[in-house]
Structure 1
Amino acid sequence: MKASDFEPVPSRDTFSRRVAVLAFWAALLMVLWHFLPVVEAWLAPSGSGERTVTARGDLAEDEKATIELFEKSRDSVVYISTAQLVQDVWTRNIFAVPRGTGSGFIWDDAGHVVTNFHVIEGASEATVKLADGRDYKAALVGASPAHDIAVLRIGVGFKRPPPVPIGTSHDLKVGQKVFAIGNPFGLDWSLTTGIVSALDRSLPNERGGPPIEHLIQTDAAINPGNSGGPLLDSAGRLIGINTAIYSPSGASAGIGFAVPVDTVRRVVPQLIKTGKYIRPALGIEADELLNQRLAALTGVKGVYVLRVQPGSAAEKAGIVGAARGPEGLVPGDVITALDGTPVDGLPKLLSLLDEHQVGDVVRLTLRRGEATREVQVALQPGT
């Protein structure tokens, strides 16, 4: 083997020098990179740092319309704060404890304010704040828990705020624009926009009784504090009262509900006149739980009349209730439709009746056994 066959082995000192050179250049590059912005600023031409404002141009037509709607509607919306009177067990002093806040709107020139019932429920007093900053103690005129509607009244001597214009809700279309004004989380007079997401929704009534029917579903942001505020159409007309949200977190999740203005127009005048809402009724007795059982047994959906009240509108129309026979309960008439609209249970019947007024005549479709007939009934005041 020759000596030339062996490659020279680099010394340890040579390897160390190479590592040191690479480390030096790496460190130099890092330093240069770090100070690059400083060098660029030093080389750049000097100036004041001011920028010229770019001309905005005209607002879009839909923006102008939204701004005009808010400016016209703002004064009709109010902020409501409630308190509950409590007594100190030691001193016997009575003082007010803040309970909650909500929204409302001016209904008429007499100072009536409409809001949700749950906004003032359980409160001992309420204060209404106008958009111009004035505060007034409010008196409760009347309430309908079944519709989640309440009417307050304030004494406004001068500079009366304008009532919100009234629209209709029976002709709403899914997809049309809506606007909600209220006081979410106490942030007063806030505007949110969206569309009608769905119509004729129903929600369980948290205070018991039949569910709240015919609600408007919207994706306009509705949060705690918006309750009782107006839902407006693009013409600035009232089409509903913001009443509830669907959200596990308690904040807006894009699903809000409003009581339709057609219901408001039917309920509020009664509350102002009598302090309560009198439901139109037939004068029958029925039970929804038993109703469901009978429908499952017989296969016939409807409202099974258990008893007809003596002297009632139902008795005058010849409606027959259930009777006790040798073999148990013998079903009487089953209400299967009202004015041609199918009735599948007691909540549906109550909802359809609620669209009428006392004295209206409705057409009921009845079934008993295999026979079907129709009768006319003049609605009476409910109890």
Structure 2
Amino acid sequence: IHARHNNPTLTFCSLAALFLLLPPPPHQHQDIRVTPMAKIPIFIYYFALLTGHATSFLPSVSPLVHRRNYAPVLAMSNSNNSGLSSLSVTELKRLLSERGVDFRDCLEKRDLVERLEESRNWASSSSRSVVPPSALSAEEERVVQTFKRASPSVAYITTSVQPRSFSLQGTRVPAGTGTGFLWDDRGHVVTNYHVVASGGSGSLPRTVKVKCQGMAEACDAAVVGVEPEKDLAVLRIPTASLPQPLDIGTSNDLQVGQKVLAIGNPFGLDYTLTTGVVSALGRDVDGAGGRPIKGCIQTDAAINPGNSGGPLLDSRGRLIGVNTAIYAPGAAAGMAGNIGIGFAIPVDTVRRVVNQIIRYGRVVKPTLGITIADDKVARSIESQLGRKLDGVLVVDVLPRSPALEAGLRASSLRGDGTIILGDLITHVDGQPVREAEDLLSAVEEKKSGDVVSVRVLRGSDLSRPEVLRATLVSRDSMRASSASSSPSAGIPSNSVGRWGRSNNMGRPPSIWDN
């Protein structure tokens, strides 16, 4: 029996014991005594028989023992298949699948039992480890865990309006649906302006309905404030039993090709996850306020009606943008839907706008009254110049602006299409300015009426540094001043406008370094 079950130790001991216990041959009359030393194999045998009998049968069964409690049933199957027959078809399939055994040709339950019986010998003789086909890859596991961690913070948003028709009862009708997400632990929820703007009518409802995972029913959320030009709105819901807010990332260091995740409620299908990559950066998208939103993220992650206001996350689950629009050529014919081109407001912009709305109820950013070159355009200019522009290039100075009064000089365009470089801003109040985001943050952290020192390189020339002082004004007063001087005049939609994406080639003309 022990030899049959591949237990050499007990097999040797049993053979030795049998040899010593055999009676002497008939023709020998002398006494045969078993010496104490000869009794040792007998004691070893009986000791091993008592302590190891059960385990002697395990080598042929142990490969089939799984983390589920199938061991007793599989042990019973060692002598017959009645133990395996007690399992359900689903359990049999699971055991076969987790051992990598093909059972596609099994028609009946007994076929599955026989296939599992056959697999025991293969499993015991094979030293290789079998990876269950149902196991997730490391990448899939990361995506699953990211979704589980982030999805509770995503909100399903519905709006409703009073009907225009005469009615004796004050009923409300649905106006639209969208997505939002929890910004902080004080109950602030961020979404798109066009989601809460009552179905595109432009009027704001007093409340909207917001529902997060775990809520028994949707709750009323108050509208804290909106910024139509950035297509952003901030709501507030009761703070009882709120999930963890999303982690906030950055968008100025995004790379084309990095993986992204979008969570939303497309066509009312709540908590839908789609994945993709960053397809492009620095896109201009028309905002709900009629002005372009600069520096948007383009992605091929599926974004559909209902995803608006939802988070765009990086592979670690950090917020990098707010989904706001899709390119839909068939929208005019009522065929709006994803074709692999979606846009998200970068989180650096979202952070500035949302913090202003939470603090003041509206956006009250001060402005210098200039337009600057986009970071990618600046890099293109650097390649043409053959040297680094360590700062932000001034492209335009608006009339009656603080920048004009301070003496900032803009870049200019010659008749032959070449550009004469203007001032390069390197510091604001002693803080270094390396990219457009640095300047935007430095200015928008100030208040209207604050005086800031601006260090510039005249004509972007390293040998011509100069420090200027400018008194910031609010964007509203700047707009009123521009309108009074020229009815057709306008200012950029943000405090410091960005330049460089309006031409067809997406790159500046030739550069004239003066």
Same fold (TM > 0.5): yes
> Which residue of structure 1 lines up, in the alignment, with residue 192 of structure 2?
116
Larger RCO, structures 1/2 (Cα 8 Å, 6+ apart): 1
| Same amino acid, percent of matched pairs | 47
Contact map agreement 2:408 2:423 (CA 8 A) in 1 = no
Q: Deviation per CA, 1:215-235: give whole Å up to 9, x if none.
A: 111110011101101111111
Matched AA of 1:379? L
Determine if the alignment matches structure 1 residue 181 to structure 2 residue 263. Answer: yes
Distance of 1:95 and 1:244 partners within structure 2:
31
Higher helix residue share: 2
Higher strand residue share: 1
Secondary structure of the 2:245 match is coil
Distance of 2:238 and 2:211 partners within structure 1:
12
Distance of 1:51 and 1:149 partners within structure 2:
61
Secondary structure of the 1:199 match is strand
Contact map agreement 1:87 1:95 (CA 8 A) in 2 = no
Question: What is the aligned-residue RMSD (CA, Å)?
Answer: 3.4
* Compared CA separation, residues 305 and 114, structure 1 to 2 (3 A): closer
Give the alignment partner of residue 347 of structure 2, picking from 261, 267, 272: 261
Distance of 2:177 and 2:367 partners within structure 1:
35
Distance of 1:67 and 1:57 partners within structure 2:
14
Determine if the alignment matches structure 1 residue 230 to structure 2 residue 311. Answer: yes
Where in structure 2 are there 5+ consecutive unaligned residues? 1-105, 117-131, 199-203, 331-335, 371-393, 410-419, 427-435, 477-514
Q: Deviation per CA, 1:227-253: give whole Å up to 9, x if none.
A: 101111111111111111112231111
Secondary structure of the 1:161 match is coil
> Which residue of structure 1 lines up, in the alignment, with residue 219 of structure 2?
136
> Which residue of structure 2 lines up, in the alignment, with residue 289 of structure 1?
none
Q: Deviation per CA, 1:245-299: give whole Å up to 9, x if none.
A: 1122311111111111111111111100111112322369xxxxxxxxxxxxxxx
TM-score between the two structures when normalised by the length of structure 1: 0.67
Secondary structure of the 2:229 match is coil
State the shift of 1:205 in Å.
2.8
> Which residue of structure 1 lines up, in the alignment, with residue 287 of structure 2?
205
Contact map agreement 1:281 1:353 (CA 8 A) in 2 = no
Give the alignment partner of residue 282 of structure 1, picking from 353, 365, 368: 368
Contact map agreement 1:338 1:352 (CA 8 A) in 2 = no
Aligned length: 292
Secondary structure of the 2:248 match is coil
Contact map agreement 2:398 2:404 (CA 8 A) in 1 = no
State the shift of 1:378 in Å.
4.5
Give the alignment partner of residue 48 of structure 1, picking from 108, 113, 127: 108
Q: Deviation per CA, 1:23-74: give whole Å up to 9, x if none.
A: xxxxxxxxxxxxxxxxxxxxxxx96388759952421111111110111111
Matched AA of 2:304? N
> Which residue of structure 1 lines up, in the alignment, with residue 160 of structure 2?
83
Where in structure 1 are there 5+ consecutive unaligned residues? 1-45, 285-300, 321-333, 341-349
Superposed, 1:240-251 pairs within 5 Å as: 240-249=321-330, 250-251=336-337
Matched AA of 1:154? I
> Which residue of structure 1 lines up, in the alignment, with residue 412 of structure 2?
none
Q: Deviation per CA, 1:170-213: give whole Å up to 9, x if none.
A: 1111111100000011000000000111111111234223x100
Contact map agreement 1:82 1:101 (CA 8 A) in 2 = yes
Distance of 2:163 and 2:438 partners within structure 1:
41
State the shift of 1:307 in Å.
3.7
> Which residue of structure 2 lines up, in the alignment, with residue 196 of structure 1?
278
* Compared CA separation, residues 51 and 267, structure 1 to 2 (3 A): farther
Determine if the alignment matches structure 1 residue 165 to structure 2 residue 247. Answer: yes
Worse overlay, 272-281 or 250-259: 272-281
> Which residue of structure 1 lines up, in the alignment, with residue 176 of structure 2?
100
TM-score between the two structures when normalised by the length of structure 2: 0.51
Matched AA of 1:381? S
Matched AA of 2:188? H
* Compared CA separation, residues 94 and 336, structure 1 to 2 (3 A): farther
Distance of 1:104 and 1:239 partners within structure 2:
14
Contact map agreement 1:361 1:376 (CA 8 A) in 2 = yes
Contact map agreement 2:369 2:398 (CA 8 A) in 1 = no
Contact map agreement 2:230 2:289 (CA 8 A) in 1 = no
Distance of 1:379 and 1:338 partners within structure 2:
19
State the shift of 1:111 in Å.
0.5
State the shift of 1:339 in Å.
2.1
> Which residue of structure 2 lines up, in the alignment, with residue 326 of structure 1?
none
Distance of 2:231 and 2:267 partners within structure 1:
20
Distance of 1:193 and 1:240 partners within structure 2:
14
State the shift of 1:88 in Å.
3.5
